[in-house]
Every structure is written in structure tokens, then in C-alpha cells.
Amino acid sequence: MKWLKRIAIVLAALIVLPVVTLLILGQRSGAGQMHASAEISASPAQLWSWIDDGQRLKQWVSWMVEARAWDKPAGVGARRVLVMRDENNGGAIMEIEGTCTEYSPPSRLTMLLAVKDAFDGQQLYRLTDLGNGRTRLDVESRYHLTNPLARLMEPLVTPQAEKKLVGDVARLKSMVESRAEVR
């Protein structure tokens, strides 16, 4: 009987300890925050179209399969739907609804983004003219996971999402600079 009790305690510890650890880590100050940046050989005006045009956005944002309901003219209040194939969720289709809250071409774009029963938050694109045809792009995101399981897994989800964001920004840099060299 003592062995059964010990085994039960060990099994309970193996389940409870990781869950408690994830709960604690999910409360850290940087939970749900991501950042990516790059210096790109293009003017802010040249780079802006890669951020503000749905067809161009689809070229450099991985997993994106469609940009729908892209309101024209663009500006504060404009709505967008980004359709993604979530590779971390078996390729499930995810429709991200966006609303523009700040629109200052060619320097700032802020979108409120949400997926019902998954997450909500905002993403800011900031373009800084460095002179000599160079621009610094900073993408800052802050999300709140609304799904309880995803919220528990936030310490694992956010670093993976940031890794994807960094890769997407690197892809944008490569695409923009390779097109600039051809011209």
C-alpha cells in the first residue's frame, strides 16, 4: 500500500508541478508581447506598400493564404481579414479580424487583431527613416490569449509566435532588398 501511495504522489507531482510552473510563467511581465525589427535598404514609402497592401503582405507573412475585406481607402477604422493556415494547429484555417486604429503612412500602422475564442491584441508597424534609402522596421505585438488552454500554454506559445514574426520580418527584408537590386 505504501508503494501505491508513493506512486500516486509522484504522478500527481509530475502533473501539478508543470501546470503550476506554466501558470506562474504566464503571469510574467512580458507575457503575450513580441518584437521584431530589421534595417531594410528601402525608403519608408517603398516599404509601406509591403505592409499596407494585402497581396504584398501575403507574400512575406508565412502561413497567410488570403487577405480579405481589405477596405479601401485605408485608414483608421478600415477592416481587414487575414486568413492564415495555422501550422501549429494541424494546418487549421484561422481568420484574424483586424481594425486599423492608427494610420500614418509611411511611418505607423496599428491594427487591433482578434480571433474569437483564441486571442485579441494589437500589432504596431513603425517605420523609421534612417536616411540614404534605409528604413528601420519595428513590429511590436501584444496579445491576450482568451482560450484557457492557450492561456495556460502562453509561455510556450509566445516564443514560438515571436520566432515566426522574426522570420517573417527577415523574409520581408530579403524580398524588398532583392527587388531593389533588380531595378
- Cβ-based neighbour number of residue 114 at 10 Å: 19
What per-residue confidence (pLDDT) applies to 183?
46
Q: What global pTM score does this model have?
A: 0.86
* Neighbour-count burial for 48-57, b at 16+ CB within 10 Å, e otherwise: bebbbebebb
Burial grade of 109 (CB within 10 A; 0-12, 13-18, 19 or more): buried
What are the start-end ranges of the H helices in the chain? 2-25, 44-52, 54-60, 148-152, 154-182
Phi, psi of 2, deg, nearest 5: -60, -40
Query: Per residue in 13-49, pLDDT tens?
Result: 777 667 667 666 677 788 899 999 999 999 999 999 9
